[in-house]
Structures are given as structure tokens and as C-alpha cells.
Amino acid sequence: MANDKDVQQPIPEEEDEVITLTDEEGRDHDFVVVDVIEVDNQEYAILLPVDETQDDEEGEAVILRVEQDADGDDILVDIESEEEWERVAQAYEDLLDEEDGEA
């Protein structure tokens, strides 16, 4: 399932930095980058909505592919393929399960 967030957002340098993405209706939404994972030699950023990270219930993560622009800067790009999105989502769930097992 691809999301409808804006393409080519710079990746923050700090782990808990908030970034703003714009949806198709032009509304801004703030996200925290909770993790960057590698799947099949490609990096993906895992984002959580800021307003939902403050609640007890965990919001749905947004997954964006990390690519480089013409200047060599990291940018976030929508995942177009549902298969790719599912593969990355499963890898992130597996990672969370491993971390829960270590605690």
C-alpha cells in the first residue's frame, strides 16, 4: 500500500528530528523518523505521525525509500509497489520482534 505523502523530502540528520510531509490535499503532517532500515541493499525510513506518537496507541508507520538526488543528498521517496512496501513492512516487524525478544 503506497502512501500519499510528498516525494523528495530531505532526511533529518538527528534521530528524533521532526520532518513535515505534505499530502495530496496540500495539508502538512509532522513525522518523527523512528528508524532507517536496509532491505535488499536499499534503505527505507520508518516514520510515525507526531500527533499519534504522543498518544498511548501507536499510529500507523509510514515507510519511504531513501534515495539520493542529483546533488547526492538523501531524499525520501514514495514506494509505488505494494510488494516492495509489504516486504519492508515485514522486515521492520521482524526487527521489532527481535528487539522485543532481547528485552
> Does any domain span residue 1?
no
The Cα 5–Cα 65 span in angstroms is 12
32 secondary structure, DSSP code: E
> Does any domain span residue 69?
yes
User: Which structural domain range is residue 80 located in?
Assistant: 9-102
Give pLDDT tens digits for 23-67: 889 999 999 988 999 999 999 999 999 875 454 455 688 999 999
> Does any domain span residue 4?
no
> Does any domain span residue 36?
yes
> Does any domain span residue 2?
no
The percentage of residues in the chain with a pLDDT greater than 70, rounded to a whole number, is: 75
Q: Taking all residues of the chain, what is their mean pLDDT, rounded to a whole number?
A: 81
Give pLDDT tens digits for 2-26: 444 444 445 545 456 788 988 889 9
Identity at 19, one-letter amino acid code: I
Q: Name every residue whose Cβ is closer than 8 Å to that of residue 28 and which is 6 or more positions away in sequence.
A: 20, 21, 22
Cell of 21: 510531509
Give pLDDT tens digits for 73-82: 989 999 999 9
Q: How many CB atoms lie within 10 A of CB 1?
A: 9
How many domains is the chain partitioned into structurally?
1
> Does any domain span residue 23?
yes
The Cα 47–Cα 26 span in angstroms is 19
> Does any domain span residue 32?
yes
Alpha-carbon dihedral sign for residues 22, 31, 74, 45: negative
> Does any domain span residue 93?
yes
